[in-house]
Amino acid sequence: MIKNSDFTYQYKLELEQIMSQYETKRAALLPVLNLAQEKYGSLSPEIEKAAAEYLDLPLMQVREVVSFYTLYHTKLKGKYHFQVCRNMSCHLLGCEEIIEYLKTRLSIDVGEDSEDGRFSLSTVECLGACEIAPMMQLNDRYIGPLTKESMDEILSKILSEQKI
């Protein structure tokens, strides 16, 4: 369990560096939340409270920002987070088939996490890489064009703990 003070105490230097770049405390909110999510994997109510206290903001202003942006999540994601793009170019080149295949292989539905905490599956609206459609973001990496074969290869690497 993260205590309110842990985040601001542990990452004091990084937070001070962020704060020094902005004219107002509030402007540092997104970078502060980005840092917190990078360190803890998700934004718990405790983290929201810590960010609000650190930036002298009402908790509600932090919460409304957390709920507005799609990259913030309030629950931990699996170790491998598959985010398949489903916008136009990916749709035209068969992302639906890729999503269905991943659902079967990972045994989870879109929006779900596997019980062992290993996998999460999401669909996203355009990742800005239409030239490699159909594509996905696997954790930080962009991968495409995707085929069932290329996904089998990725999954076998993950299952044998190899670098992707």
Partner 1 sequence: MSACPKILSQHFDVPNAHKIEVYCSRGGYTSARKVLTEMGAEQVIEEVKKSNLRGLGGAGFPTGMKWGFIPRQSKKPCYVVINADEGEPGTFKDRYILCLDPHALIEGVIIACFAVKSHKAFIYIRGEYVEPVRIFRGAVEEAYEKGFLGKGIFGTDYSLDLIIHVGAGAYICGEETALLDSLEGKKGFPRLKPPFPAVKGLFNSPTVINNVETLACVPHIINKGAEWFSKLGCEKNGGTRLYSVSGHVKKPGLYELPLGTSLKEIIYEHAGGIRQDLILKAVIPGGISSSILKANEIDIRMDFNSLAAAGTMLGSAGIMVMDETTCMVKALLVATRFFAHESCGQCSPCREGTGWILKIVERIWEGKGRPQDLDNLIDISQNIEGNTICAFGDAAASPVISYIKKFRGEFEHHIKTGSCDLVEAALK
**Count, residues near partner 1 per rule CB under 8 A:** 43
Query: Does 140 sit near partner 1 (CB under 8 A)?
Result: yes
Q: Is 120 exposed, middle or buried (0-12, 13-18, 19+ CB in 10 A)?
A: buried
Which of 39, 105 has the CB closer to partner 1? 39
Work out which of 26, 39, 103, 118 binds partner 1, going by CB under 8 A. Answer: 26
DSSP string, 109-135: -TT-B-TTS-EEEEEES--S-GGG-S-
Question: Among 4, 34, 74, 147, which residue interacts with partner 1 (rule: CB under 8 A)?
Answer: 34
Minimum gap (Å) between residue 66 Cβ and partner 1: 9
DSSP letter assigned to residue 28: G
Q: Name the token pair of 79.
A: 């170790």
Q: Residue 51, Cβ neighbours under 10 Å: how many?
A: 27
74-113 binders of partner 1 (CB under 8 A): 86-89, 91-93
Among 11, 40, 72, 101, binds partner 1 (CB under 8 A): 72
Distance CA 119, CA 139 (A): 10
Which residues bind to partner 1, rule: CB under 8 A?
Answer: 21-24, 26-31, 33-34, 55, 57, 61, 64-65, 68-72, 86-89, 91-93, 124-133, 137, 140-142
